[in-house]
């Protein structure tokens, strides 16, 4: 994996790693995403997302892994979180941001799958996790059948381009948003949209 720190030495550093999953790992993730997509068991993200004056900031579809898996050893996606135990990643996180020294001691996570098609978005919000890890996926890598969907951090005016198999790691308190996705009708309902694997990572008291 290639790890990069953007906004280094600023108040809002962000860690990016392209080709986060190996080819073998990537295939396992797609198997899992394809299985759940075939079941059509998504929930509307508007039902349980950040709000502003009781109005949801999110429009899209979502899977809550805590509700699906009693034991996450049965999920490829959750098992692949072993990758955050890499000492080189710990060192980079610790050196890049003040809160980073806690990263190596985190021991709790919650996983959500978000899926966006035409006009879906998640407006600016923050998370309650110590760290938020996002992994981008799209079906037709390296091409994609939608536009938009980039990740935007308003406090630092930073845009992280949506790229397949790209991991983005940042403290959950950063304001961030998923820019609106645009997609032609002919491509919808065929897994052609924007997948994001979200891991909320924290430390139990």
- Tell me if 165 is assigned to some domain: yes
Say which CATH number the domain at 171 has. Answer: 2.60.120.620
- Tell me if 72 is assigned to some domain: yes
Tokens (6 digits) for 71:
């034991």
- For residue 153, the model assigns a pLDDT of 97
Domain hosting 105: range is 2-42+63-202
Q: What is the mean pLDDT of residues 96-106?
A: 95
- Tell me if 48 is assigned to some domain: no
User: In the predicted model, is pLDDT for residue 142 greater than 90?
Assistant: no
SS3 38: helix
* Residues paired with 171 in a beta bridge: 131
Question: DSSP letters of 52-92?
Answer: ETTEESEESEEEEHHHH-SSGGG-HHHHGGGGGG-HHHHHH
- Tell me if 58 is assigned to some domain: no
- Tell me if 57 is assigned to some domain: no
User: In the predicted model, is pLDDT for residue 173 greater than 80?
Assistant: yes
Whole-number Å distance between alpha carbons of 195 and 134: 10
- Tell me if 55 is assigned to some domain: no
User: In the predicted model, is pLDDT for residue 109 greater than 90?
Assistant: yes
- Total tally of structural domains belonging to the chain: 1
- For residue 42, the model assigns a pLDDT of 92
Q: What is the mean pLDDT of residues 73-90?
A: 95
């Amino acid at each position: 994996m290639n790890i990069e720190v953007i906004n280094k030495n600023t108040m809002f550093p962000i860690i990016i790693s392209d080709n986060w999953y190996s080819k073998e790992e990537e295939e396992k993730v797609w198997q899992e995403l394809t299985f759940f997509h075939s079941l059509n068991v998504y929930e509307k993200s508007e039902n349980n997302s950040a709000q502003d004056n009781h109005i949801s900031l999110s429009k899209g579809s979502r899977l809550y892994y805590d509700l699906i898996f009693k034991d996450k050893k049965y999920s490829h996606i959750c098992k692949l979180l072993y990758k955050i135990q890499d000492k080189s990643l710990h060192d980079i996180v610790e050196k890049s941001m003040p809160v980073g020294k806690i990263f190596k001691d985190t021991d709790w996570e919650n996983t959500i799958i978000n899926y966006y098609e035409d006009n879906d978005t998640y407006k600016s919000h923050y998370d309650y996790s110590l760290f938020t890890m996002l992994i981008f996926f799209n079906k037709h890598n390296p091409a994609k059948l939608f536009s938009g969907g980039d990740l935007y951090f308003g406090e630092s005016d930073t845009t992280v381009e949506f790229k397949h198999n790209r991991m983005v790691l940042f403290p959950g308190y950063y304001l961030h948003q998923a820019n609106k996705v645009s997609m032609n009708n002919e491509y919808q309902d065929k897994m052609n949209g924007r997948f994001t694997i979200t891991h909320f990572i924290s430390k139990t008291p």
